[in-house]
Amino acid sequence: MNLISSINPATGKTIKQFQPYSEEQINAALKKADTAFCEWKELDVLERSKLLSDFSQLLRNRKQELGELITLEMGKVIKQSVGEIVKCADTLDYFAAHAEKLMHPEQIETDASESLISYEPMGPVLAIKPWNFPFWQVLSAASHILASGNVMLLKHSSYVPMCALKMEELFLEAGVPEGVFQTLIIDGSTASSLISRDEIKAISFTGSDIAGKKVAELAARNMKKFVLELGGSDPFIVLSDADVEKAATVAVPSRCINTGQTCIAAKRFIVAQEVAEEFTMKFVELTEKLKLGDPLDKNTDIGPLVRDEQISMLEQQVKDAIAKGAKVLVPGGRVNREGFFYAPTVLAKVNSEMKVMTEETFGPVAPIIVVEDEQEAITVANSTQFGLGASIWTEDREKGKLIARRLETGMVAVNAFFRPEACMPFGGIKGSGMGKEMAKHGFYEFMHLKSIKIY
């Protein structure tokens, strides 16, 4: 069996290698999860919440150390890595504070003397998660999965095994019982084989739409509940009455957060003809000011991509756009230095036939498409297989609200970039996923809703 390697994207050098878990280790972990679930679900919800709060505090106390681990293993710039840890802690605190209320049975009026809906955990949840937010993608789901009395088995991306093992270590250090959260160092095919195992009751998946469809098919075949959070090609719509300077100022970091390797990053810039020149000039100016370099430097804005293959995919998408008539405003591209660096690229004269408009661009490539009016903006925004998030810029907030309702996405921000919050459901529609994470809606995804009538 091939070793799993942790590689520093800033240098391209291997940090450490890991032996994938044996069949015996996997079986032992599944058995431990099953046993732990029987005890964890019976623990008073306030005790579970206290343990999650202790874990949250541990994250806050070690945010710099853990941020550096993220940066070392997947290349995120350090100021964003530390912010990722703090956001995880905030989300854990939210569910620790709200779990008791969310778990409380709901009373319903019927013909019976008493009727209620009881919320009961399902059991061990297999979480298959990606590398781009190595703590957040895991802990945003774990926060409500564990708070509700379920336990989690994590199959993390093979790019971030050190982050995966560190989370298990921290849960134990915080006093969370063994087996409640376990990391499995396994490959994708092994993870897929676990979906049919009786011990696994549900699947939480974040990743590509292709892999998500395979997970959904396996889960459905085995009658397992699943939640899919998949890719995105989020539109950033700038209307003629927008505050153009503010829109451009937000647009650049919205495209380049995590060096563009973010499912909810702004990926298609749809701009009204009346303000297109002004927006484009400001966007180019701010993009050219971004500092590319060592991700451990707190002043760096653009770090490396996670692997060289990621650069190759972007190069193919940009080459396709140029061949079909796109104009390069900021050339960017592969950087001649060690590591996997790709400088931001801005394209104009973009059309809907180009891969940068039809595929997800997972890196700092920004296509700008000009439209004549609001209706065309909506049509272009919706003309994609994806439906994750969107951003609308207009001085007319009521108009912004109406357009938000017409966009085929799971999340929309008006005059801002949409940022996940524990109190709001997170997830997309169409090819961007199924089901929700966070808020009460995510909390109940992995709960049995039992109707009880007492006469």
Show which residues are catalytic.
229, 263
Burial class (CB in 10 A: 0-12, 13-18, 19+), 121: buried
Cβ contacts of 379 within 8 Å, gap of 6 or more: none
DSSP states along 216-261: HHHHHHTT-EEEEE----EEEEE-TTS-HHHHHHHHHHHHHGGGG-
Cβ contacts of 406 within 8 Å, gap of 6 or more: 378, 382
Q: Rounded to whole angstroms, how far apart are CA atoms 269 and 251?
A: 8
Distance between start and end Cα atoms, the chain: 59
- Considering just the CA atoms, what is the radius of gyration of the chain in Å? 23
Kindly state the tokens that stand for 117: 């809906």
Strands in 112-185 per DSSP E: 114-121, 124-128, 151-155, 181-183
Kindly state the tokens that stand for 403: 């357009």
The single-letter code of the amino acid at 286 is: L
Tell me if 392 sits within 8 A of 364, measured CB to CB: no
Tell me if 227 sits within 8 A of 437, measured CB to CB: yes
CA angle 87, 88, 93 (to 5 degrees): 95
Place of tokens 């003809």: 273
Q: Rounded to whole angstroms, how far apart are CA atoms 141 and 301?
A: 27
Cβ contacts of 436 within 8 Å, gap of 6 or more: 227, 410, 425, 426, 427, 442, 445
The single-letter code of the amino acid at 15 is: I
